[in-house]
Structure 1
Amino acid sequence: MTEVADRVLSIRDLRVVAPNGAVLVDGISLDLKRGEVLGLIGESGAGKSTIGLAAMGYGRGGCRIAGGQITLTGTELTQSGKSVREAMRGARIAYVAQSAAAAFDPSMRLDRQIIEAPVQHGVMTAPEARAWMLELFRALQLPNPESFGLRYPHQVSGGQLQRAMMAMAMAAKPDVLVLDEPTTALDVTTQIEVLALLRDTMRRYGTSALYITHDLAVVAQIADRLMVLRHGKEVETGATGEVLQAPKADYTRRLVAEREGSLRPARGSQKAGGEVLLALDRVSAGYSGLTILNDVSLSLRRGETLAVVGESGSGKSTLARLVAGLLSPAAGRVTFAGRALEGSYRKRGIADLKAIQMIYQLPDVALNPRQSVGETIARPLTFYRGLKGTALRDELRQLLALIGLPDDFADRLPGALSGGQKQRVCIARALAAQPDLLICDEVTSALDPLIAEDILNLLRKLQDELGMTYLFITHDLSVVRRLAERTVVMQKGRIVEDRPTADLFQTPQAAYTRTLLESVPELRQDWLDDIMARRAR
């Protein structure tokens, strides 16, 4: 434990319970000293985010702090009134979420949102807050710092918006940041930049942090200590190097082994010579006069997994939306099972709608918060397959079992689920239609390694048993190597490589592909320093 005078955050015997009485966090104690970063590691539902929010004196979704003490910069939050806790949030402790898009008001300029906290908390005047905002913009290497704040959230890239959210969190100069998967949704090249800037900025200003993540290689670059969690309880805590190199608990050893073994090659396709299910011939597409996809041609055979990789803005998700019928091509031709495919889903027949299903990256956006899990999965069962009554209930139970959730989850609302559980519900909803082609848009990016491996195994099993075909959009190259027979690399809306996955990893031909491959974090603490030094040469 750290010396009392040096602690900015102290938690003792924390206990948090859900509205249904389930214990989410059970007896957690931790100390955080000034300038220190503590990584919270564990699978989905381990209590990581619940602890991070509790450090702010907050329980989401009706959860309540049922026991323990939380002392932030000398103030005991559990015994303080609501007004005291609210005054601390943003001023003494701030939260950085995984999804920057969800953190900003799309109708307001960035600068107005960033200076709001320091002005409202009385930390600074508006001119002082603007000057500090510009200093943060420069520290975070945002483009054109003097005018960057005049933009709206939709006018900047994902990586830039993530850095802007960090500036917003640091605007009132808090003592502690709660970083909840702040780089998980970023592509590997952008993740490196954001991670290095975040680390250097916190070091410059002496900011402490709870870093919540499921990626051991990422947290190894920034955390001084690690706390491993499972089922709301502490598994082990120690210096980052000690936990990674000599884990004491079996569960921690499994996490480390999973990360170190994450580059196992994909099995060969058993149906590589099958019929072409999907083909794009010189397709171009975009939004509001802006071309995103430019002269793209590719084919996908039945029973095959084709991965599409590239950095933010490369056109990966636009390609997925086009195949799903959410965006019509401006030029070119799309065929499915040998016939022309209508550009808009509104013009497609029910057979095509059933045959092509999509799993989205952000389950919080994809799920209706007012519909139970059972209602969400039952809708496509009825719409596409006409199931009712006993047949509907039986199929619902089978789908829940397939994704590893108990029957009683059918009655739960999305707000009562962890991030990984929500994503599994999204997968079950897509599978309910019994599609021929499943478009997977970053489906494992929000999952911890062990659950992600379960999902990948499930996808492999479905492919082997049902002949499923996957168009897999991802920035996680370890997933690509383990799942895909072929990989397409995209840059600025064009395909720069389209090759068998094993060949691409062994002998990348394009310089951009080589940059992507070297950007995959390694499980050693000095990896980030090494790669930033190489790029600076």
Structure 2
Amino acid sequence: MDQPLVSVRDLKIGARTDSGREVEIIKGVSFDIAPGEIVALIGESGSGKTTIALSLMGHARPGCAIQGGTIRVGRRDVTAMPERQRAAMRGTEVSYVPQSAAAAFNPAKRIMDQVVEITAIHQLMPREQAEAKARQLFRALALPDPDTIGSRYPHQVSGGQLQRLSAAMALIGDPALVIFDEPTTALDVTTQIEVLRAFKSVMDKGAMAGVYVSHDLAVVAQIADRIIVLKNGVVQEEGATEQILHAPKHPYTRQLLDAFEPVPHVPVARPDAAEPILAVQNLCAGYGAMRDGVPAAKILQDVSFRLERGRNLGVIGESGSGKSTLARAIAGILPAYRGNLLLDGKELAPALQQRSKDELRRVQIVFQLADTALNPAQSIETILARPLTFYHGMTGAARNARVIELLDMVRLPGHLRHRLPSELSGGQKQRVNLARALAAEPELILCDEITSALDTVVAAAILDLLKELQRELNLSYMFISHDLSTVEAICDEVLVMLKGRVVEALPAARMSTEAAHPYSRLLIGSIPQLDTGWLKGLEQDPALMAQFAGR
């Protein structure tokens, strides 16, 4: 093998807790990356993927420190460098593409100014040359209007475009190594395809090496030459992408692969109820100032469906299709301006302020991001106690006992009730989010993308928990997602939404084989497969993608 571009030996990274205790996060990790090779670091949340990736730039998160081992990039020993030299290396020899491109851009500055900024900081080239190079990268990354997109502000481009622009920012200094930190996690499936294609094309042409951090094995299969599997800061397995995907040796790797393919949902037979738990008739909702009873921005347009008691309805579609607006309209957070909502055959008022306490109790919503849904200043006990008092008038010892019961319901230990949300993992926070909804003793739970921010193993565990709770408590779910495989794992029926309208409705078990609408077929065809040749062999009509995605 040629001299490796990156050589990591016995890397140890530790952190000091608030109580002063030393914790080892990365426990003696070693690996090499050859010039031009893309290596994926995979594992669930807390496995140490991002911590290792950031250390290749000589960076450790606040409270963390590199405590042992060596990292060499080219001929330079990153661990032995002073901070000034590490800073000079970032953006030129090693660069970084973040998970959230929106957070990487300054909303007040034009895109071009931000993309070329690193060339001025390190005096790499004159401004005119930097702008010409940026436009070249915009073309290579398949961005629209490459000659003029740089004059826009970040809010004037889509999420997928912004993600590719953040790659342009990382690539303009001609780095030898690019670190991709879950750069497609927050994107819709069709947008993800475009971004992956663009990344792969530019990396291949430039013969750059890369580190791709992800929990999504199907995405990794499209871009990585080799995979390193991590758990709790320790390498579990390392090998060529084909070998890891099709002949894994370690039980944990097999667990990750199993979690990638959720068990299909088997509908539970229910006695026929006279009325569906929820009936939605010609619902219209939108945002902005009202004029003649109609909002400035109309989002939902004549949406109708029925959800039978004890069954689950999936709603899929890309960002902007109206999925979350539908959940908010049903919950009464965004009152519909036209149409009817019937709960068990009885009319529900459009706004939650007009609904009775019992109506509010029976329909609960669980939001996508537990981080923003849970009050960071309150303990888990306080968060769960509030709905118990509001809906059931519980206080004192009875309420405290019920909090412990609720945590047990979502498979969390009772002692976590004394913690703050920031002291829990992403999966634990989402379970608390669910426990808060269960505190009301609802009949219908609206789940808005509740697994999209979670890694594959944790997401699979949440889906299993939802199924278990449904059997025990006779719940009905409306499950919103842009991921069809998630919906298939828990839902009986699926609605496909496009630009505020339902374009197709089918039983979940038949959606992959029988969907007829071109947009449904596009969504289904854009779900990455555990096959290294899948992206290369994927043929999609660019005009169709542009028409439906509005990019």
- Is the pair's TM-score, using the shorter chain for normalization, greater than 0.5? yes
- Which residue of structure 2 lines up, in the alignment, with residue 285 of structure 1? 285
Give 1:307 deviation, angstroms. 0.4
Q: Which residue of 2 aligns with 1:218?
A: 219
Query: What amino acid maps onto 1:277 in structure 2?
Result: I
C-alpha spacing 1:9/1:436, structure 2 compared with 1 (3 Å)? farther
* Number of equivalenced pairs: 533
Q: Which runs of 4+ in 1 moved over 6 A?
A: 533-537
- Residues 21 and 428 of structure 1: CA distance in aligned 2, closer, same or farther (over 3 Å): farther
Shift of 1:219: 0.6
- Output aligned runs, 1:130-529, within 5 Å: 130-259=131-260, 261-262=261-262, 264-271=263-270, 273-274=272-273, 275-288=275-288, 289-529=296-536
Taking a change above 3 Å as real, the CA distance of residues 377 and 225 of structure 1, as seen in their structure-2 partners, is farther
Counterpart in the other structure of 1:21: 22
Aligned amino acid, residue 240 of structure 2: A
Alpha-carbon spacing, 1:513–1:82, altered in 2? closer, same or farther (3 Å): same
Offset at 1:96?
Answer: 2.7
Structure 1 pair 127–479 and aligned structure 2 pair: CA distance change class (3 A)? same
1:416, distance to aligned residue in structure 2 (A): 4.3
Against the structure 1 CA distance between its residues 61 and 345, is the aligned structure 2 distance closer, same or farther, given a 3 Å change threshold? farther
Matches within 5 A, 1:43-62: 43-62=44-63
Give unpaired runs (5+ residues) of structure 2. 289-295, 545-551
Paired AA for residue 304 in structure 1? R
For 1:7 and 1:397, how far apart are their aligned partners in 2?
A: 52
Residue 471 (structure 1) shift: 1.2
Answer yes or no: is the 8 Å Cα contact 1:17–1:65 preserved in 2: no
In the alignment, is the contact (CA less than 8 A) between 2:8 and 2:29 conserved in 1? no
Moved more, 416-425 or 484-493: 416-425
Do 2:15 and 2:63's aligned partners in 1 also have CA atoms closer than 8 Å?
no
State the Cα distance separating 1:18 from its structure 2 match. 5.1
Question: Counterpart of 1:78 in 2: which secondary structure?
Answer: helix
CA 1:400/1:92 → structure 2, altered by over 3 Å: closer, same or farther?
farther
Q: 1:515 to 1:296 in 2, by over 3 A?
A: same
Supply the RMSD in Å over aligned alpha carbons. Answer: 2.8
Q: Aligned partners of 2:472 and 2:259: how far apart in 1? A: 25
Q: State how far apart, in whole Å, the 1-side matches of 2:389 and 2:9 are.
A: 49
Match of 2:79 in 1: 78
Deviations 1:370-406 (A, max 9, x none): 4444444444444444444433443333333333444
Match of 2:8 in 1: 10
Cα deviation, residue 103, structure 1? 3.4
Looking at structure 2, the residues matched to 353 and 183 of structure 1 have their Cα atoms a distance apart, in angstroms, of 36
Summarize the Cα distance change of 1:429–1:91 in structure 2 as closer, same or farther, 3 Å threshold.
Answer: farther
Q: Give 1:306 deviation, angstroms.
A: 0.5
Letter in structure 1 aligned against 2:282: R
Letter of the 2:312 partner, please give it. T
**Structure 1 unaligned regions, length at least 5:** none
CA distance in 2, matches of 1:409, 1:81: 41
User: What CA distance in whole angstroms lies between the structure 2 residues aligned with 1:309 and 1:402?
Assistant: 28
Shift of 1:456: 0.6
Change in 2 beyond 3 A, CA 1:94/1:394: farther
1:495 to partner: Cα distance? 0.8
**Alpha-carbon distance in structure 1 between the residues aligned to 2:57 and 2:399:** 43
Q: Is the 8 A contact 1:8 1:175 kept in 2?
A: no
Q: 1:466 to 1:30 in 2, by over 3 A?
A: same
Please say which structure displays the higher CA radius of gyration.
2
Report the secondary structure of 1:276's partner residue.
coil
Note if contact 2:6-2:33 (Cα within 8 Å) is conserved in structure 1. Answer: yes
Check the 8 A contact 1:228/1:235 in 2, yes or no: yes
Deviation at residue 447 of structure 1 after TM alignment: 2.3
**SS of equivalent residue, structure 1 residue 498:** strand
Q: Secondary structure at the match of 1:85?
A: helix
TM-score of the superposed pair, with normalisation by structure 2 = 0.88
